[in-house]
Amino acid sequence: MNITQLKKLSYDEVAKCNKCGFCLPNCPVYLVDGKESSAPRGRNAITRAVIEGRLEWSPEIEKAIFSCLGCGACTAACFPKVKTKDLVFRDRECLVNEGLYPRIADRVARFLEEQHNISNDENEERAEWQEMAKEIPQGALNKDRADVIFFVGCVASFFPMAQKIPVNMSKIMFRAGVDFTVLGGEEWCCGFPLIGAGMSERIKTLMEHNLEKVKSVGAKSIVFTCPSCYHTWKHLYQPDVKLFHASQMLNELIKEGRVKLKEKKVRATYHDPCDLGRNSGVFEEPRQVLKAIPGLTLVELASNRQLSTCCGGGGNVEMVNPELSAKVASMKLEQIAQTGADMVVSSCQQCLRTIATRAKRQKTDLVVKDLTELVVEAME
């Protein structure tokens, strides 16, 4: 993208920013870094100054623009609802065009092109987690045709720490009698990392492939445990089948009585993943699932729902600036500690990883669980 295109797409939006600063205390990056360049207002000002020719793209700008988590909390706090996340991602497209971007993004782009996943493994290995789901017969997970496609996502497929999520989700659906299948090696990355990397034009191949697979399976709906896959499908792919996040499906299954829950005495708090809550509008279903577990007390974080604080794992920042990501995660841990809960539940493999990793590094004995894991435990 060049500046002329940027002006066309972003100028009216960025002109809505009145520099009031109400976004500052909602931006996790500003809170840990304290510099105007890490504040949404600062990023808006950069965009505007570049469009108006008062600033030129520079390595400092690259650093500022690539340290946004894309969490969208700024927009939630913004009076005119300036979509800073979109503006930042467009800036990234321009920066890529100028050759000013973190080189690690090239590797990811190459992995996606060559292997169709973010971890540069053989894509067939997407099925690795299935070994842990022994109770489900092989055939039941990999069908040619099914009502529902379970889109597992790269992180849950390849990162051992997150692999129990598809295991648990499959168990729940299998026990509830849902007619579903996974795509295995035919599932390609949804392309979400490319949007954050400023390389969204490269998504096309991935998207076409995935949409084609949906057609061939004849599915009526797709379920995602990954909020970012869900968000990408919902906002970019827009297929004419129903899209569910796992928490929505769990909620339905519980309401229909197809999943029955036993008592579990625990004080839990719920962390809203940015791409599920704020960016996709799914706030209540995961909470309803939690409240359906007898004995569970839900204590809310001070910042919840629209104003939930990102775990630090968003916007490719973990990859580009791990130190910054860790600082945000530490802040999240403090917020969780203030609730006095025994456990934090989320419904995103990335949140799970970021929070659990930080908790482990800081040697806090916080229990971090995905919603699916808690539901499976309550079913047994």
Partner 1 sequence: MERTELIASLKEILGEENVLASEMDLTLYGYDASLEKGRPDAVVLPGSTEEVSRIVGLAYREKIPVIARGSGTNLSGGTVPVRGGIVVHLSRMNRVLEIDIPNRTVTVEPGVLTLDLQNLLLKKGLQYAPDPASQKVSTLGGNFGENSGGPHCLKYGVTTNHVLGAEVVIYDGTVVWIGGKCPDHAGYDITGLLVGSEGTLGMATKIMLRIIPAPEAVKTMLAIYDSIEDAGNTVSAIIAEGIVPATLEMMDNLVIKAVEESVHAGYPMDAAAVLIIELDGMADGMERQAEKIFDICKRHRVREVRLAKSDAERAELWAGRKGAFGAVARLRPSYLVCDGTVPRTKLPEVLGKVIQVGKKYELPIGNVFHAGDGNLHPLILFDERNREELSRVHKAATEILKICADVGGTISGEHGIGTEKLKEMSFIFSESDIDFMRDLKNAFDPVDIWNPGKVVPARQAATA
Residues of this chain that bind partner 1 (CB under 8 A) = 12, 15-16, 18-22, 24-25, 34-37, 41-42, 45-46, 49, 54-56, 58, 60-61, 64, 77-81
In whole angstroms, the minimum distance from the beta carbon of 32 to partner 1 comes to: 11
In whole angstroms, the minimum distance from the beta carbon of 311 to partner 1 comes to: 21
**Nearest residue (CB) to partner 1, 11 versus 174:** 11
**Nearest residue (CB) to partner 1, 56 versus 212:** 56
Query: Is 328:32 a contact under the CB 8 Å cutoff?
Result: yes
**Nearest residue (CB) to partner 1, 218 versus 322:** 322
Distance CA(372)–CA(168), nearest Å, equals: 6
In the three-class reduction of DSSP (H, G, I as helix; E, B as strand; rest coil), residue 340 is classed as coil
In whole angstroms, the minimum distance from the beta carbon of 298 to partner 1 comes to: 18
In whole angstroms, the minimum distance from the beta carbon of 376 to partner 1 comes to: 36
**Nearest residue (CB) to partner 1, 17 versus 173:** 17
Distance CA(107)–CA(105), nearest Å, equals: 5
Residue 244's DSSP bridge partners are 223
Distance CA(120)–CA(179), nearest Å, equals: 31
- The upper half-sphere exposure of residue 297, i.e. CA atoms within 13 Å in the direction of its Cβ, equals 8
**Nearest residue (CB) to partner 1, 46 versus 320:** 46
**Nearest residue (CB) to partner 1, 31 versus 379:** 31
Residue 296's DSSP bridge partners are 266
In whole angstroms, the minimum distance from the beta carbon of 19 to partner 1 comes to: 5
> Sign of the C-alpha dihedral, residues 284, 313, 67, 121?
negative
In whole angstroms, the minimum distance from the beta carbon of 79 to partner 1 comes to: 3
Per residue in 93-118, is it b (16+ CB within 10 Å) or e — as a string? bbbbbbebbbeebeebbebbeebbbb
- Angle at the Cα of 370 (from 365 to 372), degrees rounded to 5? 140
